[in-house]
Amino acid sequence: MTTLLELQGIEKSFSGINVLKSVDLTIRAGRVVALAGENGAGKSTLMKIISGIYQRDSGTVFYKGETVKFATARQSMDAGIGIIHQELNLLPEMSVAENIYLGREPTRLGKIQWDVIERESKKYLAQLKQNIDPNTPLGKLSIAQQQMVEIAKALSLNAEVIIMDEPTDALTDIETAILFEVVDELRAQGKGLVFISHRLGEIFEMCDDIAILRDGEMVHQGPVSQMTEGDLIHHMVGRELSDQYPFVPAAPGDVRIEVEKLTAHGAKEVSFTASAGEVVGFAGLVGAGRTELAKAIFGANPVESGTVKIDGKEIRLKSPQDGVKAQIGYVTEDRKQEGLVQSQELGINMSLTGLERFCNALGFVNKACEAITISEYIEAFAIKTRDANTIISNLSGGNQQKVSIAKSLVPEPRVLILDEPTRGVDVGAKREIYTLINKLKAEGLCILLISSDMPELLGISDRILVLSGGKLTGSFARDEATQENIMRCAVAGQTNG
Amino acid sequence: MKLNDFISDNKSLIGLIILMAAVSFANANFLGIDNMLNILRQTSVNAVIAMGMTFVILTAGIDLAVGSILAFAGAICASLIGMDTPLIIALFITIMVGAGLGATSGVIISYFNVQPFIATLVGMTMIRGATLVYTHGRPISTGHFDVAESFYQFGGGYMFGIPNPVIVMAVIFALCWFILSQTRFGRYVYAIGGNENVARLSGINVKKVKVLVYALSGALAALAGIILTARLESAQPTAGVGYELDAIAAVVLGGTSLAGGKGRIFGTIVGALIIGVLNNALNIMDVSSYYQMIAKGAVILLAVVVDSRGKSN
């Protein structure tokens, strides 16, 4: 059992936040190692360091006994490390064969040897039992088929080490079974494999070893056979709650929002209610449909069926304007692309959603009035900035997040949806945001909190709902909720795709 | 620090001043009041179009149809004046026609998801064609009614010694400045150009704002058509060919980013003046019009390179 790849003491920080802390990992020939951990535990970052997409801050990587440092994905590929990415990295306009050989097309006298590409592509697709014409434009294939093409691409590299980052997420049972057969073959050929999946059943079914990351630390490594699913979940989430979460008990008022059998892209027949002065947490894995549900309630994603009532009155859900009009505030998980105009000033961003408040009937902005409100929020939220004219992209993540929350509060919403409000925010600012949430709750706001940070959810929610595969799979009062039973509901319905 | 900020905020203004200083050394007649008013008048048509273009470019769009709208609106206006339509009504209808054509581009862009470049390229071609069909390819005279005389005042008249087109330009400038800096609509224009997704999720009716922006661009192109028609006392079917590029050049010279979300209407006026001064200077220095084009292109290139170097530093 030779060691193919060995990582020692890998460290990595992004803008001051330590996402990998002295991580060790060993990949052996003829073994499949499962890499498990919660969202944001650092799994994908670690894999990107192995494949040269990110550069490690410190630590050593031994590949076949020699120290290596890949500067680009290209170099790791040439050395024999193939990675199947979580997000599909394929070009929809190009054919299947072109995608498989993109960037390393075999040529003769400068001319691409199309016949070789076609023949070889066909061979690898056949290995995966895929009867796909290599000349089909990739975009014409289903997502599952595209995933199989991505896998064929990794096979065609003839890599020694193959990393699979949630390869089964987009696959149905049949394709998953085929993939497992191929994995068995690769194992028999003596390749070293890394398998990342949120479906715990798959880990037990096909992996030999397991490595568990938590908050950027490797907390457990060993053979799968010596573990139970319970152990695994415990290792994944087993942090102690500290006073990082200043919880204030709720005095919920009347029911504020009633969601009934809401079906939209990514959410299936979800029903729940939430009251004034209550924080309802939403747990689930990536892709469970929480953001999609939130956007549907806000009017940003088309709704197929179902209703949303605010204070007993049904609201229109055609566009975000409807959401704002119905007094729903939505703080997006994606500050950069959806939350704030990065190139513009703090003040202009903060008043964007609630500009109406400062306008007369002709649409003239009362700038004095606007400036007062903006400076009030800057003070109340302790936003660290020189003044309201600072360009957003010059603020830290935590301060940007506070601006983003203030922005959604300016129009005085009755329901506030916070989608990953502490993502990319340092510990100190996190606590400030929790205090803020408590304050808003005490003022009678109804808050829906989506978070992939479980201790955070448990720490500040009055109630926790769990989504999996777009469906509501669990509901816990604060005192019944534990990381284990939430994780159980979150992976329920994931095992069978 | 303050001086540095002022310089980086007003690069185009400083460029204009340097250009004017250089030209006045080369030619003593350049700085005369008459020549200055002349430059302002010659700049007015481009400036009015460019101010509409500024709104469009601020939303990260482009409007290639303005030259054609200018010609079509000019033809409509000349016909109306030729039919003895009361001046106010003729002007109103002409501007509404321009706004309608612009709004059509806006609807195609917003609701049919066509890229602005393509949508307005199609508009440019079709509206030019419609102008040629309508005019049979010949100039349209404004006729001999009394209304024609007052109409000509628009292009050739003076008020307090200032050419009327310059006054129109100033009024439009004040209006555009007000809309962009003091109204909700202006704020939304910047937000959409800064990040359309953010704007949408902030509850802004992005589609409606875009339609209005193109309508405004069309309306101002029609107004420019009115000025030109009144000055020439007839509508030319080929009027305004290539004007969209001069307008875009003025906007870019004025420091507005083609990527959207950043820019000022004052910059656009300065940009239009740089082009106007350049044209005028090359004329009074007797440079052949062939060389003028090369010189103009070179100055625009220089300005843009200086600007983008400043940004990357």
Q: Which of A298, A323, A365 sits opposite B184 (nearest CB)?
A: A365
Q: What is the pLDDT of residue B185?
A: 95
Average pLDDT, stretch A166-171? 78
How many other C-beta atoms can be found within 10 angstroms of the C-beta atom of residue A173?
Answer: 11
Look up residue A466 and give its amino acid. V
State the pLDDT at residue B313. Answer: 38
- A202-258: pLDDT as tens digits: 899 899 999 999 888 899 999 999 888 878 878 887 655 456 788 888 788 899 999
Average pLDDT over residues A434-452: 92
DSSP E strands, chain B? 140-141, 158-159, 162-163, 234-235
| pLDDT of the residue at B312 | 46
Which of A291, A328, A344, A392 to mutate: most B Cβ within 10 Å?
Answer: A344
Question: pLDDT: is A282 or A230 the higher one?
Answer: A282
Specify the pTM.
0.78
Q: Please answer whether residues B127 and B66 qualify as being in contact, where contact means their C-beta atoms are separated by less than 8 angstroms.
A: no
The 8-class DSSP code of residue B203 comes to T
DSSP letter assigned to residue A337:
I
Residue A165 has a pLDDT of 87
Q: Render the burial of A192-231: b for 16+ CB within 10 Å, e for the rest.
A: bbbbbbbbbebbbebbbbbbbbbbbebbbeeebeebeeee
Residue B78 in contact with residue B273, Cβ under 8 Å?
A: no
Distance from CA of B184 to the nearest CA of A (A): 5
Mutate to test the interface with B, among A291, A343, A387, A393 (most CBs of B within 10 A): A343
Residue A226 DSSP class: G
Q: Does A368 touch chain B (CB under 8 A)?
A: no
CA distances from A18 to A40, A214, A238, A480 (A): 12, 12, 19, 32
Instruction: For residues A472 and A490, give the distance between their C-alpha atoms in angstroms, rounded to a whole number.
Output: 9
Residue/partner pairs of B125-132 with CB below 8 Å, 24 or more apart: B125/B68, B126/B68, B127/B65, B127/B68, B127/B69, B127/B71, B127/B72, B127/B101, B128/B67, B128/B68, B128/B71, B128/B72, B128/B241, B130/B72, B131/B68, B131/B71, B131/B72, B131/B75, B131/B237, B132/B237
Say how far apart CA A413 and CA A299 lie, in whole Å. 15
For chain B, how are helix, strand and coil distributed in percent, rounded to 5? 75, 5, 20
Quick check: B262 and A343 CB within 8 A? yes
Inform me whether the C-beta atom of residue A343 falls under 8 Å from chain B C-beta atoms: yes
Per-residue pLDDT, B310: 57
Answer yes or no: is pLDDT of A495 > 50: no
The count of C-alpha atoms lying within 13 angstroms of the C-alpha of A434, restricted to the half-sphere facing its C-beta, is 23
The Cα A384–Cα A378 span in angstroms is 8
Tokens of A206: 């096909």
The residues near A461 (Cβ < 8 Å, ≥ 6 apart) are A279, A280, A281, A449, A478, A481
Q: Which residue, A284, A278, A290, is CA-closest to A462?
A: A278
Nearest-5° Cα angle at A298, A292 to A300: 65
Query: Do the beta carbons of residue B221 and residue B77 sit within 8 Å?
Result: no
Find out whether B283 and B25 touch, Cβ atoms under 8 Å.
no
Of residues B154 and A414, more confidently modeled: A414
**What residues are paired with A137 via a beta bridge?**
A95
Return all residues near A366 (Cβ < 8 A) that are at least 6 apart: A358, A359, A360
Task: Say if CB B165 and CB B41 are below 8 A apart.
Answer: yes
Q: Indicate the angle between helix axes B184-194 and B164-182, nearest 10 degrees.
A: 70
Instruction: For tokens 């440092």, name the residue.
Output: A69
* Spatial separation of the C-alpha atoms in residues A118 and A98, rounded to whole Å: 8
Residues of B in contact with A339 (CB under 8 A): 198, 201
CB A288, CB A468: distance < 8 Å: yes
**Count of alpha carbons within 13 Å of A40, Cβ hemisphere only?**
18
- How close, in Å, is residue B59 to chain A by CA atoms? 13
Which residues 6+ apart lie within 8 Å of A394 measured at CB? none
Residue of chain B whose Cα is closest to the Cα of A350: B202
Flag residues of chain B having pLDDT under 70.
1-2, 309-313
Sole residue written with tokens 């706001």 = A445
Set of chain B residues whose Cβ sits within 8 Å of the Cβ of A417: none
For residue A449, what are the β-bridge partners? A281, A418
Contact B204 A319 (CB under 8 A): no
- Give the pair of three-digit tokens for residue A151: 């896998």
CA distance A72 to A106: 21
Q: What is the mean pLDDT of residues A127-141?
A: 88
Provide the sign of the torsion angle of the four alpha carbons B64, B70, B73, B79, taken in this order.
Answer: negative
Among residues B62, B84, B191, the alpha carbon closest in space to that of A407 is found at: B191
Q: Which residue of B has its CA nearest to A324?
A: B203
Q: Is B183 helix (H, G, I), strand (E, B) or coil?
A: strand
**Cα gap A139→A132, rounded to integer Å:** 13
Which residues of chain A have a CB within 8 Å of the CB of B184?
Answer: 355-356, 359, 363-365
Q: What is the pLDDT of residue B309?
A: 67
**How many angstroms separate the CA atoms of A300 and A318, rounded?**
7
Q: Which of B198, B200, B264 should be substituted to probe chain A, the one whose Cβ sees the most A Cβ atoms within 10 Å?
A: B198
- Confidence check: pLDDT of A276 > 90: yes
Encoded tokens for B257: 């980013």
The vertex-A62 CA angle with A58 and A66, nearest 5°, equals: 120
A-chain residues near B201 (CB < 8 A): 298, 300, 320, 330, 332, 338-339
C-alpha pair distances (Å), B290 with each of A414, B282, B285, B293 = 66, 11, 14, 6
Backbone angles phi, psi at A11, to 5 degrees: -125, 145
Q: Which of B206, B110, B203, B191 is nearest to A300 (CA)?
A: B203
A323, A338, A355 member nearest B187 (Cβ): A355
If DSSP codes are grouped into helix, strand and coil, which group holds residue A74?
Answer: helix
The predicted pLDDT at position B68 comes to 97
Residue A337 pLDDT > 50: yes
A225-234, long-range: CB < 8 A, 24+ apart: A229/A200, A229/A204, A230/A484, A232/A36, A232/A200, A232/A203, A233/A200, A233/A483, A233/A484, A233/A487, A233/A488, A234/A484
Residue B146 token pair: 């009394």
How far apart CA B155 and CA B226 sit, in angstroms, is: 8
Q: For residue A259, what is the DSSP state?
A: E
Q: Are A85 and A165 in contact (CB under 8 A)?
A: yes
Tokens found for residue B102? 């612009």
End-to-end CA gap in chain A: 33
Which residues in chain A (299-328) have CB-CB distances under 8 A to chain B? Answer: 300, 319-321, 323-325
Contact between A321 and B191 using a beta-carbon 8 Å cutoff = no
Mean pLDDT for all residues in chain A: 88
Q: pLDDT at position A34, please?
A: 94
Query: Do residues A59 and A10 touch, judged by C-beta distance below 8 A?
Result: yes
Task: Specify burial of residue A466 (Cβ count, 10 A radius: 0-12, 13-18, 19+).
Answer: buried
State the sign of the Cα–Cα–Cα–Cα dihedral A488, A492, A496, A497: negative
What amino acid occupies position B287? V
Q: How far is B208 from chain A (nearest CA, A)?
A: 12
Burial class (CB in 10 A: 0-12, 13-18, 19+), B93: middle
> What is the predicted pLDDT for the residue at B178?
96
For A172-181, A416-425, B139-148, B162-171, which range has the lowest pLDDT when averaged over its residues? A172-181
Compute the average pLDDT of residues A394-414.
90
Rounded-to-integer distance, Cα A459 and Cα A486, Å: 13
**Are the C-beta atoms of A282 and A451 separated by less than 8 Å?**
yes
Write down the pLDDT at residue A473. 92
Mean pLDDT calculated for residue range A345-359: 93
